[in-house]
Chain A
Amino acid sequence: MGAYLVRRFFLMLLTLFGMSVLIFVLLRVMPGNISDILFESAGLVNPAEKAKIEKELGLDQPLVVQYSTWISGLLRGDLGYAYVSEKPALDEILPRIPITAKLAVLALFFSIVLGVPLGVISAVKQDTPLDYALRVVSLSGLSLPSFWLALLILMGFVHFLGWIPIYTDKPATIWHELALLSIPAAAVGFRASALIMRLTRSSMLEVLRQDYIRTARAKGASAASVNYDHALRNAVLPVITIIGIEAAFLIGGLIVTETVFNIPGVARFLVEAIRWRDYPIVQNLVMFIAVVVVVVNFLVDMAYVVLDPRIKYED
C-alpha cells in the first residue's frame, strides 16, 4: 500500500505537469493577448506602445521562458500580478474561492443526497409508476443544459415569487448564505444527481440479483437492511467513481451558474479573465482547478480501498 501511494503520488505530479503544459499552450494558441485586446477595443494602433506593454509583461519572451517563469514562480508560491487589476494574482483568486467552493460542495451534496436514495428507490420499485417517473426526471436532468435550467429557475423565482435569488454581497449568516446558494447549487447539481441516480439504479439492480442478497433475506433481514446495508454498500462502488468524474463537470456548470445568478465566485471571474487574456489569473486558476480534480479523484480511489475490501493495491 505504501509503495502504491508513492507511485500514485508521482503519477499525480506527472498529470499536473501535463496539465500545466496543456493549459499554457492552449492559452497561447488562443488568438490575441492582453495588449491586442486593449488596443483593438480602444481602436488604437500604436505598435511602439503595444510592444512596450508586451515587454513589460514578458510576453515578448520565448514561450519556453514564459512557461518556466510561470512554473518556477508557482513553485515558490509567487503567482505573479494580474494584468487587468495589477494586483497580486493570489489576492485576486483567493478571496473568491470560498464562495465557489461552498457552491460546489453544496451542489455535490445535493446530487448525492438526491441521486443515491432516489436511485435505490427506483431500483427497488423497478417497473412501477414511481420508477418510470424517476427515470423520466433523471433523463431530463441529463438532457437539460445547466444554463437553461438555471434560467428557468431564475425566471420561476422572479415570476412566481417575486423574489430574486441573487447573491447579495454580505449575507447576514451562514444559513442565509447557504439558502441563497442552494438554488444555484441545485441547478448545477441536478445533472450530477440525475447521473448518480441512473447509475445507482442500474448498479442496485445488478446487485439485487446477487446470491448474497438472497442470503441476507434468508437470514431474516428486513427489506431496508437488505437494500441499504447489503445491497447499497456494494452498489455504491461504481457510483463513487462517477462522483469523482462529475466533480470535474461540475466546474463547467459552475461557470454558467455563477454568471446567471450573479455570484461573485471564482468561476465567473475565470471567464472574465479569459476574455482579457489575463494569463496569470487564467493559468493559475485553471491549474488550481486541475489540482482539485486530481485530488478529488485520488480521494475517490482511496474511498474505494476503504469501501471495497477486495481491492488491495500490491506493493
Chain B
Amino acid sequence: MDARADVQPEAGAQALLEVDDLQTYFFTRQGVVKAVDGVSFALRRGETLAIVGESGCGKSITALSLLRLIPDPPGRIVGGTVRLAGHDLMTLDEPAMRNVRGNDISMIFQEPMTSLNPVMTIGRQIAEVILLHQDVSRKEALAKAVEMLRLVRIPEPEQRVREYPHQLSGGMRQRAMIAIALACNPKVLIADEPTTALDVTIQAQILELIVELQQKLGTAVILITHDLGVVAETAQRVIVMYAGRKVEEAPVGELFAHALHPYTHGLLASIPRLDLMRGEVNDTPQRLQEITGIVPALTDLPQGCVFAPRCKFADDRCRAQYPPYEQKRSGHWAACWNSDALYGGALHA
C-alpha cells in the first residue's frame, strides 16, 4: 500500500526535492499568462525554504505545480522537471501522482475558513487522507485522527473529531489542516501563507506549531509567505520571486544582511513593524511602506529585466536584456545587472 518512492537515508548530498526550470502557463483569452517561468530550486531534508514575493508573483502556482494540481484548462505545466528523492513526478501517471499527494508531499492553504469541507466532520477529513494512503481500517484511521488532533494541540480531540469545520475557530481549523497535512508523515510540507488569514496572536502559535512538528517529524517545509518577518523566524533559506521568476536566493541571515536585488530591498523595507502599526512608537498607526508601481501583467512582460518599470536603478541595459541569474556571493544568487555596483560584494568580480 505504501507507494512512497524509496529513499536512501544517507542521500544527504542529493536534495529531497529538486525543481528544475519549472514553467506553468495559463492560456487565457487575454493571452498566455506565464505564472511560473523557469523556476528552479532544491529542497533538502528537514529544511525550511521560504518563497517570498508580492501577491500574484506565482508562489501558489509554483506550489500547486509541484503537486500537479494546476486547473487545466486554463493552466498547464509546460516545462521543467520536479524530482522527489530522485523520482521524476512529471512523468508519473495520475494514480501514482495521487499516491504522492497528501502522502509524500502535503499542502496547507491560506484560507482555513474555506479549506475544509463544510459538510464533513473534522475526523472524517483527517481519516480520509489516512485511508487513502495507509492500509488501515476505518476505525484505526479515526483513532489516528484523534491522535493527530492531539498532536496539533486541539483541546478535547475525542470530541472535536465529531465536529464540523464551522464549529471551530480559524486558528483551530488551520490546526486541523495541519493535522490532515501531516497525518501521513509526508517528506515535504508546503505551507502556502498558512497564517495570513489569522489574527496576529494566532499567527505566531500556528508558526510555532509548524516549526515544532517539522523538527519532531523531520519534514522539509516550503513556506510561502509575503511576510519577511515570518521568514526571519522560521526559514533557513529564502527564494524571492517576482513576476513568475526567481530574482534572488540566499540563506536567511545572508539575505537580510546583504540583499542584492532592488526588489528584495523593497520587500525588506515593507516588513510590517508591529510596534509601528500599533502606534506604540508614534501616536498614529503607520501604513506599511510599499514598493511603488504594480506587478506587470504576466501576459505582457517587459523585454528586459521584469522589475525595470518599478526599479529606480533601471538603465538602458536593464530595459534591453534580462539579467543573468548568477551566484554573486557564496550561496547567494540574484538576477540584477547592477547589484554589484549597488550593493557590492560580488564573488566573481
Residues of A within 8 A of B180 (CB): 215, 219
B115 contacts A233, CB within 8 Å? no
Interface membership of B83, Cβ < 8 A: no
Among the listed stretches A60-68, A163-171, A306-314, which one makes contact with chain B, having 4 or more residues with CB under 8 Å of it? A306-314
Interface membership of A210, Cβ < 8 A: yes
Residues of A within 8 A of B98 (CB): 220-222
Interface membership of B107, Cβ < 8 A: yes
- Give CA–CA (A67, B166) in the complex, Å: 50
A215 contacts B115, CB within 8 Å? yes
Among the listed stretches B126-134, B144-152, B328-336, which one makes contact with chain A, having 4 or more residues with CB under 8 Å of it? B126-134
Among the listed stretches B117-125, B276-284, B303-311, which one makes contact with chain A, having 4 or more residues with CB under 8 Å of it? B117-125
Contact A234 to B119, CB < 8 A, known contacts A219-B129, A221-B132, A309-B164? yes
Interface membership of A218, Cβ < 8 A: yes
Interface membership of A212, Cβ < 8 A: yes
Number of residues on chain A facing chain B (CB within 8 A): 19
Closest chain B residue to A309 by CB distance? Answer: B164
Q: Quick one: which of B104-119 are within 8 Å of A by CB?
A: 106-107, 109, 111, 114-119
A212 contacts B129, CB within 8 Å? no
Q: Quick one: which of B143-178 are within 8 Å of A by CB?
A: 164, 166, 177
Interface membership of A230, Cβ < 8 A: yes
Residues of A within 8 A of B106 (CB): 218-219
- Give CA–CA (A220, B164) in the complex, Å: 21
Residues of A within 8 A of B120 (CB): 230, 233
Residues of A within 8 A of B327 (CB): none
Interface membership of B245, Cβ < 8 A: no
Residues of B within 8 A of A233 (CB): 117, 119-120
B164 contacts A218, CB within 8 Å? no
Residues of A within 8 A of B103 (CB): 220
- Give CA–CA (A216, B101) in the complex, Å: 10
Give the interface residue-count category, chain B: 20 to 34
A308 contacts B102, CB within 8 Å? no
Contact string, B87-102, partner A, CB cutoff 8 A, digits 1/0? Answer: 0000000010011111
A26 shortest CB reach to chain B, Å: 42
B133 contacts A212, CB within 8 Å? no
- Give CA–CA (A216, B95) in the complex, Å: 15
Interface membership of B69, Cβ < 8 A: yes
- Give CA–CA (A308, B132) in the complex, Å: 25
Interface membership of A214, Cβ < 8 A: yes
Contact A211 to B118, CB < 8 A, known contacts A217-B69, A220-B132? no
Closest chain B residue to A218 by CB distance? Answer: B107
B120 shortest CB reach to chain A, Å: 7
- Give CA–CA (A257, B29) in the complex, Å: 48
Residues of A within 8 A of B67 (CB): 217-218
B102 contacts A218, CB within 8 Å? yes
Closest chain A residue to B63 by CB distance? Answer: A218
B176 shortest CB reach to chain A, Å: 11
- Give CA–CA (A212, B166) in the complex, Å: 13
B132 contacts A212, CB within 8 Å? no
Residues of A within 8 A of B69 (CB): 214, 217-218
Closest chain B residue to A233 by CB distance? Answer: B119
A215 contacts B177, CB within 8 Å? yes
Contact A309 to B118, CB < 8 A, known contacts A214-B109, A220-B99? yes
Q: Quick one: which of B211-252 are within 8 Å of A by CB?
A: none
A3 shortest CB reach to chain B, Å: 21
A99 shortest CB reach to chain B, Å: 37
- Give CA–CA (A12, B111) in the complex, Å: 41
A230 contacts B117, CB within 8 Å? yes
- Give CA–CA (A214, B111) in the complex, Å: 11
B338 shortest CB reach to chain A, Å: 40
- Give CA–CA (A210, B165) in the complex, Å: 15
Other A-B pairs beyond A212-B117, A216-B117, A219-B180, 6, CB < 8 Å: A218-B107, A220-B100, A220-B103, A220-B132, A220-B133, A230-B120
Residues of chain A whose beta carbon lies under 8 Å from any beta carbon of chain B = 210-212, 214-222, 230, 233-234, 307-310
Instruction: Kindly list the 6 A-B residue pairs having the minimum CB-CB distance in the complex, ordered from nearest.
Output: A219-B102, A220-B101, A220-B102, A211-B114, A309-B164, A219-B129
